[in-house]
Amino acid sequence: MIIHQTIPLPAPGEADILQALEAQEGTVLRWALTRIDPPLLDVILLA
């Protein structure tokens, strides 16, 4: 299954993004910040 997830972040920095990605279970196919204030990360995950 490939799923789309939207994840709120504490801040829009690369360290916060990487931390959020590491917490995902599965292979990350794609990610992008889609909003800065408040920060939102879109992730496509091969679960």
Partner 1 sequence: MKPFTVLSLIPTGIGASFGGYAGDGAPATNLLACAADRLITHPNALNAATFFSRRPNVLYVEGYALDRFVEGDWALRMVCSNRIGLVVDRSAEHTLPSLLNVCNALRASAGLSITGVALTDAPVGARVVIGTNGVSSGEVENPGTLLDAAKKLVDGGAEAVAIACSLEGGDDELDENYLQGRGPDPIGGLEAILSHLVVSQLGIPAAHAPAELPWTPEGVVSPLVAAEACGSYLPCILLGLSHAPRCLPVENRKSGDLTSEDLDLLVAPYSCFGGAPMFACQRKKIPMLAVRENETVLSVHPEALGMEAIVVSSYLEAAGVILAMKEGISLASLRRPLAGVSR
CB under 8 A, 24+ apart: contacts of 15-24: 17/41
CB of 31 to partner 1, least distance (A): 6
17-36 residues near partner 1, rule: CB under 8 A: 17, 27, 29-36
Element (H, E) at 14: helix 14-22
CB of 9 to partner 1, least distance (A): 11
| Pick from 4, 17, 9: nearest CA to 44 | 4
Contacts to partner 1 by CB under 8 A:
1-4, 6, 12-14, 17, 27, 29-37, 40, 42, 44, 46
